[in-house]
Amino acid sequence: MLTTIQELARRAGDIILRAEHEDLRVKNKSGSADFVTAYDVEVQTFLMGELAARYPAAQFLCEEKENDAMTAAPTFVIDPIDGTTNFIRGLRHSCVSIGYYEGGEVQLGVVYDPYSDEMFYATRGGGAYLTCGGKTRRVQREDKPLAETLVVIGTSPYYKERTGKETVRIFEELLYRTLDIRRSGSAALDLAYVADGRYDLFFEAVLSPWDFGAGRLLVTEAGGVITCPDGSKMPMAPVPILAGAPTAHQEFQQLIGYHG
């Protein structure tokens, strides 16, 4: 299954790379900054069709469709283009994210960046890895205290009215307690980078299951921690997320907290 999903992620990435930006057919889904393009739909349709043909008993939880609550049944959790606004603006920082779940637990995760040809992947209990340029290496992150972290923050743009003030408070707190802060626009890549040690801590006030469906396994298999900011387990629903080096994760809870 891992080999199949990697192959399909690459083929989905080819769809992204051939996109003609004058013909993205952008639509606003539900409100400010919540966009979908024809390519989001094309990639999702491609992935669902290919995976359904190979695994007919599987269910799907995907960004660009109506979803029922996830069950214990085998389920693919898909974000066809994570970082759609980046994609629309030609920023070349977006990815394909595919997670496979059984019994409500993630078993396999793939995050593929077609622009850099970086394939992050993890299997439950099997570690996290990165393939790029024909070379594969294991992804293992160092533990770090909060004061030594490079932080990446998501701004939950679909939920500004509800979460904006708390996000700004946390940004200010982290600004004075860490090395520096970044904002990339792709949560799935943020989690992959946390796993790889490029970032050390990630926070977002609301993140959807397809955004973290694969990346959560990358983080844990690389030696990081990912939970809700109060330390509780993340349900497969839009929730606040805190991920990173174990010590920084713990210090965030003790020193900063989340008041959402």
Average pLDDT, the chain: 94
Average pLDDT value for residue range 10-19: 95
Query: CATH 3.30.540.10 spans which residues of the chain?
Result: 2-138
Whether pLDDT at 215 is above 60: yes
Whether pLDDT at 228 is above 60: yes
**What pLDDT does residue 186 have?**
98
pLDDT digits over 103-153, tens only?
A: 999 999 999 999 999 999 999 999 999 999 999 999 999 999 999 999 999
Average pLDDT value for residue range 204-208: 97
**What pLDDT does residue 183 have?**
98
For residue 155, what are its two tokens? 């701004």
**pLDDT tier at 191, thresholds 50, 70, 90:** very high
Q: Which fold has domain 2-138?
A: Fructose-1,6-Bisphosphatase; Chain A, domain 1 (3.30.540)
pLDDT digits over 145-190, tens only?
A: 999 999 999 999 889 899 999 999 999 999 999 999 999 999 999 9
pLDDT digits over 64-96, tens only?
A: 888 888 999 999 999 999 999 999 999 999 999
Name the percent of the chain in helix, strand, coil, to the closest 5.
35, 30, 35
In sequence order, the 6+-apart residues with CB closer than 8 A to the CB of 22 are: none
Query: Residue 257 carries which side chain, given as an amino acid letter?
Result: G
**What pLDDT does residue 226 have?**
98
| Separation in Å, CA 43 to CA 40, 67, 133, 156, 227 | 5, 17, 23, 23, 29
Query: CATH 3.40.190.80 spans which residues of the chain?
Result: 146-255
**What pLDDT does residue 21 have?**
62
For residue 122, what are its two tokens? 């993890």
State the architecture of 146-255 in CATH terms.
3-Layer(aba) Sandwich (3.40)
